[in-house]
């Protein structure tokens, strides 16, 4: 039932995926709630008292921290959470990239960009299909999980900002306000989906604009916490959620921008390197690409860009995607220095720059110039992982939880197979997250319990 306020009543409108028929559930329901941009350091009794209590008291790994995928950006982590594989496999290596053609850099993260199936695709392909739903505060996430010809399937039902009235959308970003998104999620629950994705955008939006440590951001965290706690209680009161699980986490944390941004494109231009190199800044990271991968001076230009970056205040690291014989061979290669980042895909830059704390990387006066908060660097990987509900059990496997781990576990909770590559190529075992025990009641146990209940 939607809240009675007029704008929330309007927000309860949802839309069905045109190709999805009514579906069966394969086990107890599961919800994945992503509080966009909620840093684990801000899950406190003062800012998020309800979530902090859930975190401390969860029977599953109380107080456990998770690690967002690198770069710590929205698109990268939602792709990891909904596929169960790492960025070098699903192919979303940032919020933007350059495809090494004459075309300019572009956004990265629409459904055709994903190289693997998503949970929604696997659920739709089950016989009978498993019903899914998504309520997302950012329109781009509806695009990420849209249907594609002969490839991806969309959620069975979706609520997105276009389903909210203008009064329930931020006028600058177009993001839906959290109250409206949660009202849309409540409406979706009436169809009893086996899986529900919720993305709440307010914390991210305000932390960017006002800074994550501002009073505006703190007030937003408190309001989102109150609304989320009410939603959790509504869900847990539903009989079909007796053995269900709600997992609350974030796609990334936040860093306050306290220094002037580093304009990567301007630095390359001033050094005369932009004729050979293209830069794509992405908040806490920037990708630098060789314009011509076959050019004789490619490695020399990249080595010069690396030296320039490391001499620039605000750049903490500069790492090659592949070996560079002009600059120490393998000594500065991304996979060697940070093997857990798993971002060394051809869509990533030939050189990856990482911002120091308090800095953001931009280009040509991009949006980062005016933002007071940013993310993307490794310091913004720290997120809370909170498990709530009757399907949650104690476990000793609480270490090193990644976004890919959570994604693969969502599939396992629903009794679904792992995702496959869309081109049919195999996926190596170490390219997938691990299945986390204790996060849900297996379908077989739930069925047995239902049969034996008085």
Encode pLDDT of 290-322 as tens digits: 999 899 999 999 999 999 999 999 999 999 999
Using the 8-state DSSP alphabet, how is residue 348 labeled? S
- Predicted confidence at residue 1, as pLDDT, reads 34
Spatial CB neighbours of 186, under 8 Å, sequence gap ≥ 6: 1, 2, 12, 231, 234
Query: Residues, the chain, total?
Result: 454
Judge residue 355's burial from the number of C-beta atoms within 10 Å of its C-beta, 0-12 exposed, 13-18 middle, 19 or more buried.
buried
Mean pLDDT of the chain: 92
The single-letter DSSP state of residue 425 is: -
Q: Is 90 exposed, middle or buried (0-12, 13-18, 19+ CB in 10 A)?
A: buried
The tokens describing 69, both together, are 């995928």
Query: What structural domains and CATH numbers belong to the chain?
Result: 13-256+378-452 (3.40.720.10), 262-370 (3.30.1360)
Query: Under 8 Å CB-to-CB from 239, ≥6 apart: which residues?
Result: none
Q: What is the pLDDT of residue 368?
A: 77
Please name the residue ranges forming H helices in 12-96.
Answer: 49-57, 74-81, 87-90
pLDDT digits (tens, 9 = 90+) for 103-126: 999 999 999 999 999 999 999 999
The closest alpha carbon to 138, from 193, 190, 200, 95, belongs to 200
Phi, psi of 356, rounded to the nearest 5 degrees: -75, 160
Distances (CA, A) of 426 to 14, 91, 343, 415, 452: 36, 14, 18, 21, 41
Q: Give residue 26's pLDDT band: very low, low, confident or very high (50, 70, 90).
A: low
Residues ≥6 apart with Cβ < 8 Å to 420: 116, 117, 427
- pLDDT value of position 444: 54
Separation of CA 352 from chain center: 20
Model-level pTM greater than 0.85?
yes
Mean of pLDDT values over 418-436:
97
Spatial neighbors of 383 by CB under 8 A, at least 6 apart, are 38, 39, 40, 65, 66, 67, 68, 249, 250, 251, 252, 253
Residue 228 predicted with pLDDT over 80: yes
Q: Which residue has the tokens 């401390």?
A: 56
Checking if the pLDDT of 19 tops 50, the result is: no
pLDDT value at position 3? 35
Looking from the CA of 363 toward its CB, the CA atoms found within 13 Å total 21
Alpha-carbon distance of 21 to 117, in angstroms, equals 19
Q: pLDDT tier at 15 (50, 70, 90 boundaries)? A: low
Paired strand residues for 357: none
Whether the predicted pLDDT of 383 surpasses 90:
yes
pLDDT digit string (tens) for 156-211? 999 999 999 999 999 999 999 999 999 999 999 999 999 999 999 999 999 999 99
- Determine the pLDDT at residue 165: 97
pLDDT at 382 over 60: yes
Q: Cα–Cα distances in Å, from 53 out to 49, 62, 179, 213, 342?
A: 6, 10, 21, 21, 33
Contact 322, 284 (CB under 8 A): no
Q: Taking a C-beta distance cutoff of 8 angstroms, is the pair 416, 124 a contact?
A: no
- Region 45-72: mean pLDDT is 97
Q: Which of 431, 454, 357 is nearest to 69 (CA)?
A: 431
For residue 22, name the pLDDT band (cuts at 50, 70, 90).
Answer: very low
List the one residue out of 183, 256, 179 whose CA is nearest residue 220: 179
Neighbours of 367 (CB within 10 A): 13
Let me know: does 256 contact 39? Beta carbons within 8 Å.
Answer: no
Element (H, E) at 242: none
Q: What is the mean pLDDT of residues 34-63?
A: 97
* pLDDT band (50, 70, 90) for residue 27: confident
From CA 269, how far away is CA 278, in angstroms rounded? 10
Higher-confidence residue: 15 or 444? 15
**What pLDDT score does 154 carry?**
98
Neighbours of 6 (CB within 10 A): 11
CB 314 within 8 A of CB 355: yes
Residue 364's pLDDT band (boundaries 50, 70, 90)? confident
pLDDT at 443 over 70: no
pLDDT given for residue 445 in this prediction = 59
């Amino acid at each position: 039932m939607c809240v009675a306020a007029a704008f929330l009543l309007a927000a309860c409108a949802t839309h069905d995926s045109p190709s999805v028929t009514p579906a069966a559930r394969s086990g107890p329901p599961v919800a994945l709630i992503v509080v966009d941009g909620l840093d684990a350091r801000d899950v406190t009794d003062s800012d998020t008292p309800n979530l902090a209590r859930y975190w401390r008291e969860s029977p599953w790994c109380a107080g456990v921290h998770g690690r967002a995928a690198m770069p710590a950006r929205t698109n990268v982590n939602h792709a990891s959470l909904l596929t169960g594989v790492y960025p070098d496999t699903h192919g979303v290596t940032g919020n933007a990239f350059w495809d090494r053609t004459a075309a300019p850099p572009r956004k990265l993260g629409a459904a055709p960009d994903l190289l693997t199936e998503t949970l929604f695709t696997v659920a739709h392909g089950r016989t009978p299909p498993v019903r899914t739903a998504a309520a997302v505060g950012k329109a781009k996430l509806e695009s990420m999980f849209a249907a594609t010809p002969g490839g991806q399937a969309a959620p069975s039902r979706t609520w997105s900002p276009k389903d909210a009235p203008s009064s329930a959308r931020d006028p600058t970003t177009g993001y839906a306000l959290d109250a409206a998104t949660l009202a849309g999620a409540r409406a979706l629950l009436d169809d009893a989906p086996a899986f529900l994705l919720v993305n709440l955008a307010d914390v991210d939006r305000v932390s960017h604009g006002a800074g994550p440590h501002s009073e505006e951001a703190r007030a937003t965290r408190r309001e989102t916490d109150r609304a989320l706690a009410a939603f959790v209680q509504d869900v847990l009161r539903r009989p079909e959620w007796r053995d269900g699980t709600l997992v609350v986490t974030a796609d990334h944390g936040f860093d306050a921008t306290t220094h002037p941004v580093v304009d990567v494109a301007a630095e390359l231009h001033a050094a005369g390197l932009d004729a050979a190199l293209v830069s794509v800044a992405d908040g806490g990271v920037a990708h630098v690409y060789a314009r011509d991968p076959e050019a004789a001076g490619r490695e020399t230009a990249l080595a010069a860009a690396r030296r320039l970056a490391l001499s620039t205040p605000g750049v903490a690291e500069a790492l090659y995607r592949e070996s560079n014989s002009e600059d120490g061979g393998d000594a500065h290669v991304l996979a060697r220095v940070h093997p857990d980042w798993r971002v060394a895909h051809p869509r990533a830059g030939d050189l990856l720059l990482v911002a120091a704390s308090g800095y953001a990387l931009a280009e040509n006066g991009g949006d980062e110039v005016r933002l007071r908060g940013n993310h993307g660097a490794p310091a913004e990987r720290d997120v809370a992982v909170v498990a709530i509900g009757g399907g949650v059990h104690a476990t000793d496997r609480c270490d090193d939880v990644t976004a890919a781990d959570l994604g693969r576990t969502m599939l396992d909770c629903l009794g679904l197979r792992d995702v496959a590559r869309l081109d049919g190529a195999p996926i190596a075992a170490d390219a997938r997250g691990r299945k986390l025990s204790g996060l849900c009641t297996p379908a077989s146990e739930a069925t047995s319990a239902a049969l034996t209940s008085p």
